[in-house]
A and B are shown apart, each in its own frame.
Chain A
């Protein structure tokens, strides 16, 4: 169980990256969504023990992240995949993973070998495992990053944009892998790919300007947009700014627009079932629309 209570983080006494966040994250996959600069990476770094919160309380399986000992204990249970992943270019995959496993505290050599063989097979890099990492493509490096995060059988997995750089097939495989692992552990997944969240997360939080503006199940976020999603077929004119354009598709006989809002009658818009993406965009609209100078209220499901 991850317990976060009134957590704040201010950089250089000026930039407030987190503003009084409270969350409870249990076993399973938990999605973290939000625009750039919302504070997702800051939150994940605090949970990973990389930085300390300015105020508030955060506990990872009972370990208080405000103390050094608590952070060290939490790190023993952690698998972390950062957004900007670095690798040692002169080591091959086996060597790099062995090194990371040792540093994670997997002392037994046989157990290390077993784990490395398993994770390399999981990310399908067995054939190239003896090549040096500097020869790997971006996607392959990402997969090695995923592999190292899985070492040590972590209770908490924090993955930041894990599928960036992966082809669609690999993305689906990785999503399924995380889903399988989520039955016994806590996985916090931060991504801009809403599809990944809708297919694999049982709960999610939406962050905006350092605050949680939504927390609940994906289905609940979808419900937020119900009644506000429309499809304009054979659109000739582009929808005006009062509507939020979600997508536009060029067809043979015109353009098909998917919009959020209340379209005027002349658009002849048809209501549509909302998706998670629609829910997210509608929520962001509502948050921005509610007094920009005063704190936005959390819309709790």
Chain B
């Protein structure tokens, strides 16, 4: 993040054109990757023991989610303080607002893909590619597909969207992430899905 901040501080044209925010870009990517690695059935040691215990697996997932979100929030807050000093034009709240919605979206995406595919590397891959696409292609999406693009672009340059559009964008992304997180919890309620019983002998 520090390296990217130095790059932005040098007013790199690419960084400026994509409305670069190190906290939002890197913070949400890291959260998504951590969420993807959090719980993948094929990679979970002692999965059957876990599922056989009286404590629902959802509790374990919730604990891990709280840790991931908590840690990332802490890092984002520290990053926001740091970058606010570096770029006084961006306020502390601005930094966090730009970070929060993509963080939730990437967390939900990483979790859900890992659960559905049962493997963490798929979740991680989707998060990285989606983040990269949004980071480097987001402005292009806004230009070419503005009608719907403004809803899904994660790191929009602040001078492109109106305040109303920006608010709806943030709400949409947050809702997207929350829905995926909810779907993940819904999916793990059935242990048979998690142990891939369809693939194993009775």
Question: Which chain A residues numbered 127 to 147 have a C-beta less than 8 Å away from chain B?
Answer: 134-137, 140
Chain A residues positioned under 8 Å from B201 (CB to CB):
135-137, 140
Question: Which chain B residues numbered 166 to 184 have a C-beta less than 8 Å away from chain A?
Answer: none
Chain B residues positioned under 8 Å from A135 (CB to CB):
199-201
Interface magnitude class on chain B: under 10
CB distance from B152 to the nearest CB of A (A): 36
**Chain B minimum-CB-distance residue to A89:** B199
Question: Which chain B residues numbered 139 to 183 have a C-beta less than 8 Å away from chain A?
Answer: none
Is chain B's binding surface mostly helix, strand, loop or mixed? loop
Which of B199, B200, B201 counts the most chain A CB atoms within 10 A? B201
**Chain B minimum-CB-distance residue to A135:** B201
**Chain A minimum-CB-distance residue to B198:** A135
**Chain B minimum-CB-distance residue to A131:** B201
Interface magnitude class on chain A: under 10
CB distance from B14 to the nearest CB of A (A): 43
**Chain A minimum-CB-distance residue to B199:** A134
CA–CA, A134 to B197, complex, Å? 10
**Chain A minimum-CB-distance residue to B42:** A89
Contact with B along A107-145 (1 / 0, CB 8 A): 000000000000000000000000000111100100000
Chain B residues positioned under 8 Å from A140 (CB to CB):
201
CA–CA, A213 to B200, complex, Å? 43
Chain A residues positioned under 8 Å from B200 (CB to CB):
134-135
Contact with A along B191-202 (1 / 0, CB 8 A): 000000001111
Chain B residues positioned under 8 Å from A134 (CB to CB):
199-200
Question: Which chain A residues numbered 210 to 264 have a C-beta less than 8 Å away from chain B?
Answer: none
CA–CA, A136 to B200, complex, Å? 6
Chain B residues positioned under 8 Å from A136 (CB to CB):
201
Contact with A along B25-57 (1 / 0, CB 8 A): 000000000000000000000000000000000
Question: Which chain B residues numbered 71 to 127 have a C-beta less than 8 Å away from chain A?
Answer: none
CB distance from A87 to the nearest CB of B (A): 12
CA–CA, A196 to B163, complex, Å? 79
Chain A residues positioned under 8 Å from B199 (CB to CB):
134-135
CA–CA, A137 to B201, complex, Å? 5
CA–CA, A140 to B201, complex, Å? 10
CB distance from B119 to the nearest CB of A (A): 13
CA–CA, A144 to B66, complex, Å? 43
Chain A residues positioned under 8 Å from B202 (CB to CB):
137
CA–CA, A135 to B201, complex, Å? 5
Question: Which chain A residues numbered 253 to 301 have a C-beta less than 8 Å away from chain B?
Answer: none
CB distance from A141 to the nearest CB of B (A): 9
CA–CA, A140 to B200, complex, Å? 12
CB distance from B201 to the nearest CB of A (A): 4
CA–CA, A138 to B58, complex, Å? 28
CA–CA, A136 to B201, complex, Å? 5
**Chain B minimum-CB-distance residue to A136:** B201
CB distance from A131 to the nearest CB of B (A): 9
CA–CA, A140 to B202, complex, Å? 12
CA–CA, A174 to B202, complex, Å? 23
CA–CA, A137 to B197, complex, Å? 12
CB distance from B143 to the nearest CB of A (A): 45
CA–CA, A240 to B202, complex, Å? 44
> Could you name 9 residue pairs across A and B whose Cβ atoms are closer than 8 Å?
A134-B199, A134-B200, A135-B199, A135-B200, A135-B201, A136-B201, A137-B201, A137-B202, A140-B201
A residues near B (Cβ < 8 Å) are: 134-137, 140
Inter-chain pairs besides A135-B199, A136-B201, A137-B202, 6 sampled, C-beta below 8 Å = A134-B199, A134-B200, A135-B200, A135-B201, A137-B201, A140-B201
B residues near A (Cβ < 8 Å) are: 199-202
Task: Give the 9 A-B residue pairs with the shortest CB-CB distance, closest first.
Answer: A137-B201, A135-B201, A134-B199, A136-B201, A135-B200, A135-B199, A134-B200, A140-B201, A137-B202
